[in-house]
Amino acid sequence: MIITRRLAAGACALLAALAGGIVPASAADGPSKNSPKVELVLDVSGSMKARDVDGQSRMAAAQQAFNEVIDAVPGGVRLGIRTLGANYAGDDKETGCRDSKQLYPVGPVDRTEAKAAVATLRPTGWTPIGYALRGADQDLGTDGGTRRIVLITDGEDSCGQPDPCDVARELAAKGTHLTIDTLGLARDDKTREQLSCIAEATGGTYTSVQHKDELSGRIKQLVRRAEQPVETPKATQGADSCAKAPELGAGLWTDRAAFSEHRWYRVKVKPGQELRAGASIGADRAVDRDHGILLRAVSQGGQELVRGSDASSGRTDVAATGLRYPIGEKKDDKEPRTVCLEVSHSFSAPPSVKRDPGLPVELAVDLVKSPDNPSDLAAFGLGRGWILLAVLVVTGLLTGLVWGWLSRWRVAVWRAN
């Protein structure tokens, strides 16, 4: 009996350990490594002392918004906080322009610790936005999951080097699918232009906020958006010829193209499949008014198969076009064909605009079952050109014959009368 009781007690202890130790530990692990990551980058420079947000200082409004955001972080998001201008109040520019530190590491959120860290912040120093963005990119790492930076500031960068727009383009060119959203607490044109440039370079958004409720609501929205599953574009690097081009499969692909540069890619298309491809080039900096984009499908022998193009005059953020090319299915032909895709553009810019990195390119590639009669589709790109032409010719001929017959009949009737 004593042994039985001891075994029962041991079993109960083991169950209690499993229930009280292993299960909570598992739950405490939080989001997985592939879950989305967001880092909030907060401006804590001296200008955040201004009291123009619903009677509060900009800093107090930001702290209140951060507390609300921390309470509302979705369970599947890893969150971090970085500051800029929070620690050095002196006049030495070199020191002030390196004043950016991670306040709370990217990961599962301990709400009490995160709020306590935010509560210690006081408006202090400079505004090294470019330097802080590079630090935030390193904080997010590259271990999987989407990556988003939310920058909250009340002014433009006060350091100049590195230029925040150039940093945003540099980070976007790394191909790690980083999105930077910017929120401006000031309404001056220079701040708006700089924050818009940062956001546009990475496919993010710029928002001007004047009230604490707007600030809190917008940050919450961006953090929730990070949790929404999206297809992450894969980075690739096009070549200057088809022979050297990388092979792409179905999916979304990103690249960079310099001004006046042609980029080549390859896709293998099986008989019975139709290649559908789309290309877009973003104007992530100041460009001249007239521009265009050309996407060509070319055989390995250099013969053009089909093309898509678009042109515009005026300020646009993106130029895009697409094409479709089917390959007919034959009984004795099962080998895939290599189709070369060439992307070129006519964007230009004033000499003062930086050329490096190149303009962002996005390619969408899809392979679907080919239509029953691919020859008509290939002849005129997206339309069945030969069929339409034949119908028009036959219709015109019949109309001419009928009209001629009616005219002769009317003349004969008139003469008879």
Q: What is the pLDDT of residue 358?
A: 87
The more confident residue out of 150 and 376 is 150
Q: Where are the domains of the chain?
A: 30-227, 234-379
Over 80: is that where the pLDDT of 209 sits? yes
pLDDT tens figures, 43-60:
999 999 999 899 999 999
| Closest to 184 measured CA to CA, from 172, 171, 197, 173 | 197
- Whether 388 has a pLDDT exceeding 90, the answer reads no
Q: Is the pLDDT of residue 127 over 90?
A: yes
Position 84 scores a pLDDT of: 95
**Range in 119-123, 155-159, 186-190, 273-277 with the lowest mean pLDDT:** 186-190
> Does residue 12 carry a pLDDT above 70?
no
Select the more confidently predicted residue: 395 or 275.
275
Q: Which of 113-127, 168-182, 242-256 has the lowest mean pLDDT?
A: 168-182
pLDDT category at 410 given cuts 50, 70, 90 is low
What's the CATH architecture for 234-379?
Sandwich (2.60)
Q: Which of 77-86, 176-185, 259-268, 380-389 shows the lowest mean pLDDT across its residues?
A: 380-389
CA distances from 201 to 4, 85, 165, 197, 315 (A): 71, 24, 7, 6, 16
Domains 30-227 and 234-379 share a fold: no
Compute the radius of gyration of the chain from its Cα atoms: 31
* Region 318-333 average pLDDT: 84
Among 4-18, 170-184, 218-232, 389-403, name the one with the lowest average pLDDT.
4-18
Helix (H) / strand (E) element for 42: namely strand 37-43
Most confident of 110-119, 186-195, 254-263, 399-408: 110-119
- What rounded mean pLDDT belongs to the chain? 82
pLDDT of residue 384: 40
d(CA 248, CA 245) in angstroms, rounded, equals 9
* pLDDT classification of 29: cutoffs 50, 70, 90: low
Q: How confident is the model at residue 380 (pLDDT cuts 50, 70, 90)?
A: very low
Q: 39 CB contacts (<8 Å, ≥6 apart)?
A: 79, 80, 81, 82, 106, 136, 139, 140, 148, 149, 150
Rounded mean pLDDT, 300-319: 82
The strand pairing partners of 42, in sequence order, are 83, 152
What average pLDDT does the segment 30-46 reach? Answer: 86
Q: Find tokens 């009928």 and name the residue.
A: 402
Which pLDDT belongs to residue 267? Answer: 96
The tally of CA atoms less than 13 A away on the side-chain side of residue 344 is 11
- Is residue 243 predicted with pLDDT exceeding 70? yes
Inter-residue contact 147 to 202 (CB < 8 Å): no
Q: Which DSSP string corresponds to 322-387?
A: EEEEE---BTTB-PPEEEEEEEEE-----TTS---S-EEEEEEEEEEEPPS-HHHHHHBTTB-HHH
Statement: residue 162 has pLDDT above 60: yes
Closest CA to 31 of 65, 66, 80: 80
For 42, 100, 186, the CA distances from 96, given in Å and listed in that order, are 15, 9, 21
Cβ count within 10 A of residue 13: 10
pLDDT at 403 (0 to 100): 58
CA distances from 202 to 256, 360, 383 (A): 12, 9, 35
Per-residue model confidence as pLDDT tens digits over 262-292: 999 999 999 989 999 999 888 778 888 888 8
CA–CA dist 368, 280 (Å, integer): 21
Superfamily of domain 30-227 in the CATH hierarchy: von Willebrand factor, type A domain (3.40.50.410)
> 88-97, 187-196, 230-239, 308-317 — which one is most confidently predicted on average?
88-97
Question: Does the pLDDT at position 1 exceed 70?
Answer: no
Sign of CA dihedral 208, 77, 63, 142: negative
Please tell me the predicted confidence (pLDDT) of residue 137: 95
For the chain, the distance separating the N- and C-terminal CA atoms, rounded to the nearest angstrom, is 132
Residue type at position 371: P
Distance CA 138, CA 134 (A): 7
Identify the DSSP state of 239: B
Residues for the chain: how many in total? 417
